[in-house]
Structure 1
Amino acid sequence: METLFLSCLFGGVLFALVSVVLGDWLSVALDGALDFLSVDGIRMWQPMTVAGWITTFGGAGLLLKEYTGLGTAIVMVLACIVAQLLTLAFYFLYIRPMERSENSVGYSVMELVGVIAEVLTPVPAQGYGEVTLRVGASYTHHIASSYEGVGIAAGAKVVVVEVEEKEGVLQVASIEL
């Protein structure tokens, strides 16, 4: 029994070290050959949580076997319970909040309708200029044309009325704030 617990403990620790130290490099070197390890259906069955369960099972089993006078079957059951409880706590207190805290700076140009921008390069009545607008925590520049067919001077505030889907040009109109 001790061999099983030691194997689980050291196997889990080795998995953690390899995935932290060599994880990205190994993934690139094997060209995604280990992608099958990611379980898409059940979010809780990620390699990190499964390896955590195995490691905790091994550690709890060793401790229970060494410091209690319980039988082998009871030690196995208690080690499973301890591993399950600690893995659930780890998932809900660390992994899940980290998944939800991930931010993306990506956006779709189609999401810019209604956003207020400032004209950088004057927008002629017929032609293109440039506007800057805030998306998330940064500013971005886009090509713009006049929605109303009226020239717009540099520094003017405008609102994005629509986006030409084919070319991604913002159609803007002057506003006064």
Structure 2
Amino acid sequence: MDFFGLSIESIYLITLIVVGSITVLFILFGNGLIDVSDAGGVLNPTIILSFITIFSASGYLFEMFTPISSMLILLFSLLIALILVTILNVFILIPLSKAEESLVYSSNSLKGRVGKVITPIPLDGFGEVVLTDKSGTIAKSAVSFNQEEISEGVNVLVIDVQKGVLHVTPYEQSTHYKL
């Protein structure tokens, strides 16, 4: 069977080489690209590229080594690609995405935390605050919530986070408890 002057085997092979190369490049350099994978579900580029790669590889192998008709090979290849990509997604990609989420912090998780000023915060300017936790240390830009100067070494409470900048106020931790 021929399409556009090329045999079906050639089409499968060309597709395999091109999309397989793009898949490898995406896996290696995907973090530097715009993160389209946040769209989730079926629109994840890793899933789409893997599906096309597996489809073209199985189609090429079936065309080369079996006497089955091209239409049946197309259906088998689609089924094989669908099964393998589903397994890839369910057992590898979804667990990895959940593990990655557990290692990062969100802006909302920083609210209410106590940190220490490492670069003084001027009246109408930016300073820097370090927040230490069991999961690690985070240094972030900060401004005073009450528009007051905060000197280095002062403990501060994170009131809000806007555009990645902490809005903090001085915080004194009471060591005396009333019963």
Q: Distance in 1 between matches of 2:37 and 2:120?
A: 52
Aligned letter for 1:137?
Answer: G
TM-score, with length taken from structure 1: 0.56
The CA deviation at 1:82 is: 0.9
Alignment partner of 2:50: what SS? helix
Question: Are 1:138 and 2:137 counterparts?
Answer: yes
Unaligned runs of 5+ in 1: 124-128, 147-151
User: Which has the higher Rg, Structure 1 or Structure 2?
Assistant: 1
User: Are 1:16 and 2:20 counterparts?
Assistant: yes
Measure how far apart 1:81 and its partner are. 0.9
Partner SS state of residue 134, structure 1:
strand
In structure 2, give the amino acid aligned to 1:16.
G
TM-aligned CA deviation for residue 131 of structure 1: 5.5
Q: What SS class does the counterpart of residue 42 from structure 2 fall into? A: coil
Aligned ranges 1:77-156 → 2 under 5 Å? 77-102=75-100, 108=107, 112-118=110-116, 132-134=130-132, 137-140=136-139, 142=142
Any gaps of 5 or more consecutive residues in structure 2?
Answer: 122-126
- Does the 8 A contact of 1:163 with 1:171 survive in 2? no
Supply the distance in 2 between the matched residues of 1:19 and 1:144 (Cα, whole angstroms). 46
The 1-side partners of 2:161 and 2:55 are apart by: 58
Q: 1:153 to 1:65 in 2, by over 3 A?
A: closer
Tell me the TM-score normalised to structure 2 length. 0.56
Report what 2:124 is aligned to.
Answer: none
CA distance in 2, matches of 1:98, 1:113: 27
Percent of pairs with identical residues: 20
Deviations 1:57-86 (A, max 9, x none): 222123223433433333222122111112
Distance (Å, rounded) in 2 between the aligned partners of 1:46 and 1:145: 40
Which residue of structure 2 lines up, in the alignment, with residue 149 of structure 1?
none
Q: Answer yes or no: is 1:4 the counterpart of 2:8.
A: yes
8 Å contact from structure 1 (residues 44, 91) kept in 2: no
The total of aligned residue pairs comes to 160
SS in structure 2 of the partner of residue 44 of structure 1: helix
SS of structure 2 residue aligned to 1:175: coil
